Each structure stands twice: as structure tokens, then as C-alpha cells.
Amino acid sequence: MVKKQVVGESLPRPDALAKVQGRARYIKDMLKSRKEVLIGRALFPPYAHARIVSIDVREATCLPGVAAVVTAKDLPGFNGYGVAALDKPVLAENEVRYQGDPVVFVAAKDQKTVDQALSLISVEYEPLSVCEDPREALKPNASLIHKNHPLSKNNNISSQWRVEKGKAHEAIAQADIILESDFETQMADHAYLEPEICIAEPDEITGGITLIAPGHSPHLTCRSLAAAFGLPHSKVHVVSPIVGGSFGGKEDSNLEIAVMAGILALKTGCAVICEYTREESLRNTGKRHASYSHRKLAATKDGILTAIVADITIEKGAYKSVDPIPQRMAMYGGGVYRVPNAWVEARSVFTNHTYGCAFRGLGVPQAIFSIECQMDDLARSLQMDPVKLRLKNILEDGDQTITGQVMKSSRGLGLKKCIELACQRVRWDQPLKQSTEPAIRRGRGIAVFMYGTGTGYPNDGAHCFLNLQMDGSLMVGIATVEMGQGGLVAMAQMAAQAMGIAFEKVNINYSDNHTSPEAGATVASRSTVFLGNAIVNGCMILKERMLKCAGQILGADFRDLELLEGIIQVKQKPEVYVGLPEAIRYAFSHQVPLSAVGSWYPPLNRLDPVKGQDTRMHTYTFGAYIAEVSVDIGTGIYTLDRSVLACDLGKAINPQAAEGQMEGGVAQGIGFAMMEKFDWKNGISITDTYHNYLIPTAMDLPKLETIIVEESNELGPFGAKGIGEPPVVGVAPAIRNALYDALGIPFYTLPITPMKVLAAIKQREREVG
């Protein structure tokens, strides 16, 4: 029997047809089967920073149809929750620190009654000074956003990190060429289709609660909220059905709505649904961190990099949320290059804005924007081709990153191949054809990047439950969440291949903290590798048991057997075989377990919190992105004519799903580069709809060309590396570099809007003459 290969095939996703036909059940669809559900909402402040003087809820409490009105004094548990720290109040008690701090929760029989009750609540505030700029918050006389934060004392710094290698400041002073620039990247919204929503149901038998909420990890949601409910983790049951988009945001923005629904359900003893309006979602929930970077880049006259010095300030917003951003911006401060000397310092700083949270790329797009822009600036100053300059400096086998990690080709090192294939696709060696329109200028730009698979922390591992069924099928219980990335089909493919059964025989049970073990969140482009390895490990355990049972049946040594397509046969005598169901029945009757726990951890990392020298990522995904643009110099309007992305992802478990991830990441990167931006007035977001927060539509996108490069990772399942986040990383700097090529004008602030382009053109005209 020839073994059927399912890994590497573009098999259809199990959720695809149901989604396109409108049959997939999102949380809102589940209301149809629930007859009595209360509606919950929150009252938010009109200020970004204020002291609460008084709250009067008497009229709202007396309104017919109102089931509960909850203030901070009515909470059943600890008044705080969060992913990294329990620092976000369930309900503001004395002070509001940003526009999304809820003051009162209300549950009522219908939406009209809830809205009326909220209008009857009277809150008196004393407005306080508002801090909107993290650089101002660092000044010695700045007021504290948190006077008693659990992880930040006596300053406004949420977290900080430094990477130190060699003697960077001395190398800068001795360099042939020194470039010095300031970069800014903006706060950006995830723009997912499904707003935050949760159904909470109290369990009258156990005294616990069930939360049905879209998020990145049912276990993380449980851990983050249990204290607020006053319940042990074992009594907080979290289920995440299919998610209507997240891109990192619902790792903790879902907590805001889930804690509200849970508190109201416990208070009323009834099921409660809470859902943000689009305006509330835009104003209240976490965003991509804004960043401010001052960078120096040093090189020889031949274009060999000698040193990098960078000082980075990141806007944290009002609460900590997820905050490895300083570490990640520092560790990626040298990009994909050999840099013998580096000093990169980064810190995240509290303000009275909406908090910064996880967003596809988690700090790496901001870091790569800076280094890749400076690489093009350096190429121009040397009058060298930008690709040639990069190839002179990229990391190769045996080279070290600025964190001291040694690159290994055995872990997949396809960066050079990505650059070469992307350049071949656009014919980089030939001049870009210019427009016949006199007002149109065309340009081409490249950016190269790397992105580590996993979080890099010592506790980053994965586990899963596997259960063989009597008919030879396999059930796999995982904590991974299906957010549209196609994870379920990839997991089933790896399980089928590893176990030696048909793809159709595998069922993936997902996103339930009571039916799956802790496996980390669906973040950091880790699921395919971490859960995939855990599944393979579990399959190997079960397979060995079944081979031993089949050996008893066939009178053969189990080491001489193989399991292919549900048949256990003697390797050298395939005519001697037994079906897997028969081996399972034998195991069942001979006290051999049919269940196993699969586990996987990457090699333990060496972490240096002083100089940031570590080997935290077991592997990296590499890539190159090339953009071609056309610019109207009369209006500043520019279009993206061509988009080519090449990624080394180790092994494409499902090429179609991988291409979808690549295309989606590029589309998001285009928005980050060209248009997405929040505007504020006194700490209140005046960007609160998709009329004034622009995201790319199909009309804004060219054909998104993708090139899959497969340089196998010896530690990945079937050689795989992560692909969820890397595609977004290189887009913004490549578009910036294409504009530079077209106009001869560098840009250092995102987004690069047509108004910015036109202003820069006019400014140059004034300077020239």
C-alpha cells in the first residue's frame, strides 16, 4: 500500500462551505436557541481622565424590566482583570483613566430598556489632566497615570528592554557613514467584522459560569477573569466558537465584554448577552501600539553594517494588556542583518489613550519599518542598488542576530532565496517602466524581514488530548481557536499523516478549556508548529500502542509493522495485515489505553534581561516583499500597482491556507502603510466609525502575488514554521521605499497618505526654487 500524503495538499477547510452559505454559527446565531436571555450594556465616561465624584443609579434600578444595575461596590470578586496584570478595573470606582473605562453595568429584558436605564444614571465627574503623548509622560514632572500599578511603581513606564551587543556607541563614532533618523508609526485598529460579544450562563448546579466568547485562548480567558468572578479556574468554563476576525485584538478585548456578561449573569442568575456597538469597539478596545524611534545606522564605505543605536518609545495607553512590545521591537532592531555592534533601548509608556494590545506582528512591523527604511536611505547615500546592499548584510548560516542568536540552516534559512525569487518575479534587474502621463512617477521598493515562531518564553509549549475511536477514527482536543486562518484543516492533515489514517477519519475538537489542555494562545504564529508537534507526539504514542497490539494479533515484532491508511501491515510482507479497528478492539479488551496527551516544547531558551542576549526563538520565518507604485505629483494620490511577497515558511502544510494568510497579511500591511490612523481630541477618539477610519477595500488592492519558499525547519512538524503574522511585516517599508524611488523624497511617519505625499512634493518645490 502506498502511503497517501495529505500534508502539503490544498485540502478544503471544513468551515469554508458553511461560511459562504451563511450556515456557520457565530455567537449571535446562538441566540435563536436561547429563549430567555437578558441584554447587558455598560455606561462609559465622557472623559479620558476624571475623578468619579458620585454615581446615582436609583432611577435606573426602579425602571420596569431592569434585572440588575451593578457598580464597583456590587462586584462579587476582585475589581481587576487582564492578560499580563489584573490592572484593568471591571468597573471604575474612583477614577477613569481612558474613555473605555466602564462605570456601571446594566442588564434588562431588551435593548430599549437597557438604553433607557443607562440614560437615567447620573454620574458626576471631576475632569483631570489628560496625557496623550508617551514622550510627555516620561518627563520628570509628568503626572502618574497609575499611582499604584501592580507592575509599575512611581513612573509611567509599563515595561522596558535593552539589547546590547559589542560597543555600539564607539562603532558609531568611528564609522565611515552614519545615518540618523526619527520614525513614527501610528495606532491602528484590527477592523474585524464581528464586534466583541459574549453569552454568559450561570451554572446553578456547580455554582460556576460558562462564557461563550470569541477569543484567542479559552484558558487565557479563564485565568484572566476568574478572580473578577470570585471563582476558581475550574468553575469558569470558556468556549470560543468560530471567530469573526481578530488579528490579535480578541486576545484580550474579548475580556471586556466577557467580564461584563459574566458579572451580570452571576448577579441575575440568568443568561446574559453583551455586545459592543461598532463605535464602542473602535473607541474602547486595544489597538496596535504607536511608536516613536530615534535611530542611528553606521556602515563602511562598501556598505557593510557596523552598528545600530536606537531609542524607542511605545505608547501603551491606559492599561498593560499584552506588553512584550519593548522586547520585540528591541530584539528585531537589527532586522535580518549581521550587525556586530548594537544598542537598542525600548520602553512602553502609559497614557490616557486606548490601550495598546496584540496586533498581527506584535511590534515587529514597527521595528522593521525603521530598519528597512534606513537600509534604503543607506543604499541611496552609497549609490548602491538596495537589493545588492541587503544581500551584502543578510544573516546566513552561522551568523548572529543582535541578540546573539546563531542562525542555523537546519532550522530553515531561506531568506536569500526569498529575495532572489521576488526579484526575479518583478525583473528587478531591469528598469521600471515609467508612465506616459507627464504627472505620473513610478517607483519600486523592497523590504526584507524575519519573524520568530512562538512567544520565545520558557513556558511556551503545547498539549493536546487524543482519543482513538472503535472504528479507527481519531478525535483531537486542542485549545487552538479557528479565526479564519485555516488552522483546523492543517491540524487534521498533520494528525492524519502522523497517525497513518485517512484525513476524513480525523475530527478536531477545539477552543474549550474543559475539553482541551492548556496549549498557549492562538498567537505568535505558533499554532501550526506548537500544536502540530504536540499532535504528532500524541499520534506517535497511540501508534506505538496499536502496533504492539497488532503485533500480538499477527505474531510479529511491532518494529516490523507500519500503519498506513488505517491498515497495520508487515513492512516486508504487506499481504500480512490487520485493520486498525481490530487492533483498537484488542487494545480495549487488554487494558491498553486508547487516549494520550501529546506535548511539545521548543529547546529551553537562554534569557538575559540585562543585555537582551538570548536564543528565544527556535526558528524564524523569512521573507521579502516588493511593491511598485504610481504617484500623481499634482495631487499626491498614489496607487499600489504591484505586490509580490515571498515567504520561507518551512513547509506549507496546506498551501492554499498559507497563501490566504500571506494575502491577508499583505492587505493589512497596505492599510497600515497608506491610510489607517486614529485621531484624538482631549483623549477622546474622534475616529469612531469606518467612515473616518479608512481600511483598504478590494478597489485599493492590486493582485496579491505570493511565492512559497520551503526551507525545512528540523524542529517543526513536517518541517513547518509559522506564517500567520510574517506577511504583514515588510509591506509598509517596501511601499515607503517605492515612493522614495518614485519621488526622491523619504518618508519617516506612517501612514503615508496622499496629503502627506502632496505636502512633501510642495515642500521640495519650495526648497528647489
Q: Do the domain assignments include residue 642?
A: yes
Please give the Cα distance from 332 to 342 (Å, whole number): 11
pTM of the full structure: 0.96
Among candidates 539, 551, 444, which has minimal Cα distance to 494? 539
Q: Report the domain count for the chain.
A: 3
Specify if 354 maps to a domain. Answer: no
Is 571 found in the same domain as 487? yes
Residues with a catalytic annotation lie at: 725
Q: Which pLDDT value is given to residue 126?
A: 98
Q: What are phi and psi of 291, to 5 degrees?
A: -145, 150
Do residues 235 and 90 both lie within one domain? yes
Q: What CATH number is associated with residue 87?
A: 3.90.1170.50
Residue 622 parent element (H or E): strand 620-632
Flag whether 2 is in a domain. no
| Per-residue pLDDT, 150 | 85
Whether 549 is covered by a domain: the verdict is yes
Regarding whether 681 and 632 lie in a shared domain, the answer is: yes
Residue 405, domain member (yes or no): yes
* CA-closest candidate to residue 358, choices 316, 311, 318, 323: 323
The C-alpha cell at 510 is 477545539
Same domain, 202 and 72: yes
The answer to whether the peptide bond before residue 717 is cis (omega within 30 degrees of 0) is no
Q: In this structure, what DSSP letter does residue 430 have? A: S
Residue (of 104, 83, 111, 121) closest to 224 by Cα position: 83
Q: Which of 148, 155, 113, 669 is nearest to 366 (CA)?
A: 669
Please, which residues have CB within 8 angstroms of residue 756's CB and are 6 or more apart in sequence? 636, 747, 749
- Are residue 466 and residue 429 in the same domain, yes or no? no
212-259 confidence digits (pLDDT tens)? 999 999 999 999 999 999 999 999 999 998 899 999 999 999 999 999
Domain boundary among 255, 284, 313: 284
Same structural domain, 505 and 536: yes
Q: Are 423 and 564 contained in the same domain?
A: no
Length of the chain: 769
Q: Answer yes or no: is 74 within a domain.
A: yes
What region does 415 belong to: left with phi over 0, alpha with psi -120 to 50, or beta? alpha
Q: Is residue 180 part of a domain?
A: no
Average pLDDT for runs of 10 along the chain of length 769: 79 88 88 86 98 98 98 97 94 97 98 98 98 96 91 90 97 97 98 96 94 94 97 96 92 96 97 96 96 98 98 97 94 98 98 97 97 98 98 98 96 98 98 96 98 91 96 95 89 97 94 90 92 97 98 96 95 94 97 98 84 92 98 98 98 96 97 96 94 93 97 97 97 98 98 98 91
Is 487 in the same domain as 425? no
Alpha-carbon distance of 2 to 497, in angstroms, equals: 13
| Same domain membership, residue 706 and residue 579 | no
77 shares a domain with 112: yes
Q: What is the DSSP letter of 519?
A: -
The pLDDT mean for the chain works out to 95
Cell of 431: 528598469
Of 224, 253, 284, which residue constitutes the final position of a domain? 284
Say whether both 551 and 650 belong to one domain.
no
In a domain, 535, yes or no: yes
What is the distance between the alpha carbons of residues 51 and 96, in angstroms, rounded to a whole number?
6
- 478-530 per-position pLDDT tens digit: 998 988 888 889 999 999 999 999 999 999 998 999 989 998 898 989 999 99
Interatomic CA distance for residues 48 and 299, integer angstroms: 45
Looking at 110-252, list the stretches that DSSP marks H as alpha helix, in order from N- to C-terminal side: 111-120, 134-137, 168-173, 218-229
CA distance 482 to 479: 10
Q: Say what the pLDDT of residue 2 is.
A: 47
Phi, psi of 642 (to 5 degrees): -145, 145
Residue 668: which of 736, 628, 728 has the closest Cα? 728
Residue 3: the pLDDT is: 58
Phi, psi for 539 (deg, rounded to 5): -65, -40
If asked whether residues 482 and 596 sit together in one domain, one would say yes
CATH value at residue 587: 3.30.365.10
Question: What pLDDT does residue 506 have?
Answer: 97
What per-residue confidence (pLDDT) applies to 616?
A: 86
Looking at 544, 573, 600, which one is the last position of a domain?
600
Q: Which domain holds residue 555?
A: 461-600
